[in-house]
Structure 1
Amino acid sequence: MVQKYVAEIKPLNEAIIGTKPHGTAEFTVSDDALHIEVEMFDTPKNMQHWEHFHGFTDGKDAQPATMAQDVNHDGVVDLPETEAVSGTTMVPFDAEPHQMDIANDTYPVSDDQGHFKYVKHVPLADLKAQFKKVFGTDDLDLDKRVIYIHGVPDAVKLPDTVGGNLNEKYDKHVTLPIAVGKIKSVK
């Protein structure tokens, strides 16, 4: 059985980064693989962009963050502020999504026009096994997830109140959400 999912990815934090990143994501799940295609336009140029799906482990339906999630009113929705509506970072769209190694340097790099296209064929059994190890279930529940694109250049001035993540483990420029989309099942 083949299941298809899509997401229309819309800008987030565009006022502070000066561009309006947008694009699409398509996910095709077959018996043995998850095929992922993400194409983005107008992202910050010539830099690596982390991208992941986020969600909740309790079955709650994740929603895209909006400026309403700017709870500290600094004009920026940072990664910690997305968690209330979008959940936690789950699967990276990097060189090896099935390894679920979030912090690495194998994410897509935008060109001098701010465009990138990511295409990956992921072994489904490996991804589900690692997902179960980390989150206690092997159900990816794609239609309950959102996709985030992250990353702005170090030169972008961010308020001191912007966080990288709850543990402040990652630089806020790397993790700043720049675009988000709700993943939906294609009937």
Structure 2
Amino acid sequence: MTTHYAAQIVPLNADKIGTAAYGEATFAIADDELTIKITMHNTPANMQHWEHFHGFPDGKQALIATAAQDANADGFVDLMETEAVSGTTMVPFDDAPEHMDIPHDRYPTADEHGDFTYEKKVPLSELQANFKKAFGESELHLEKRVIYIHGVTANVHLPESVAGMVGHYDAHVTLPIATGQIVAVD
């Protein structure tokens, strides 16, 4: 039996960054495998984009951030401002999601048109074991999570009030540019 989930990914911060990124994500769980496919359009071109699912470790329903989450009224919804409704960063969609290693340079890169497709088959038991170590629960509960796509070019002016430094990566890397609610489709 395969369980399916999907998310329609909509723009966030589009009025400030000059692009309105959008796309879709699908997830399929069968046996010991999670298959992920994310297709994005109109992202900032020729650059890497971090992408993750976010949620609450206590199982509370995560929701996508909107302009209403701009708590400091600087015109941007930054990574820290998403946490109130979306929770914390949980699983990366990178070269090895099962390792749950967040800050690095192994995420998809958009082409010259701002498009990219990410596809990965993930060993579910390894991902669940690492998820349990991090969050105390092995079940992913995708239906309670949201997806975020991050990243703008360095030439986009971000006010100092835009938070999002992760390791040595600044807010240009972590700024959310698109988000989607993950829902069960079975």
What TM-score comes out, normalization by structure 2 length?
0.98
Q: Could you tell me which amino acid in structure 2 is paired with residue 181 of structure 1?
A: G
Give the aligned CA root-mean-square deviation in angstroms.
1.0
Counterparts of residues 1-187 of structure 1 (less than 5 Å): 1-165=1-165, 170-187=169-186
How far has the Cα of 1:169 moved from its partner?
A: 5.6
How far has the Cα of 1:168 moved from its partner?
A: 7.2
CA distance in 1, matches of 2:167, 2:118: 27
How far has the Cα of 1:2 moved from its partner?
A: 1.0
Q: Could you tell me which amino acid in structure 2 is paired with residue 147 of structure 1?
A: I
Once the two structures are superposed, what CA deviation does each residue of 1:89-144 show, in whole Å capped at 9, x if it has no partner?
00000000000000111100000000000000000010000000111110100000
The 4+ residue runs of structure 1 with deviation greater than 3 A are 167-170
Q: State, as a whole percentage, how many aligned pairs show the same letter.
A: 59
Q: Could you tell me which amino acid in structure 1 is paired with residue 152 of structure 2?
A: V
How far has the Cα of 1:173 moved from its partner?
A: 0.3
How far has the Cα of 1:170 moved from its partner?
A: 3.2
What TM-score comes out, normalization by structure 1 length?
0.97
How far has the Cα of 1:39 moved from its partner?
A: 0.3
CA distance in 1, matches of 2:26, 2:67: 25
In the alignment, structure 1 segments of 5+ residues that lack a partner are: none
Q: State how many pairs are aligned.
A: 186
SS at match of 1:134: helix
In the alignment, structure 2 segments of 5+ residues that lack a partner are: none
Are 2:19 and 2:43, in contact at CA under 8 Å, matched by a contact in 1?
yes
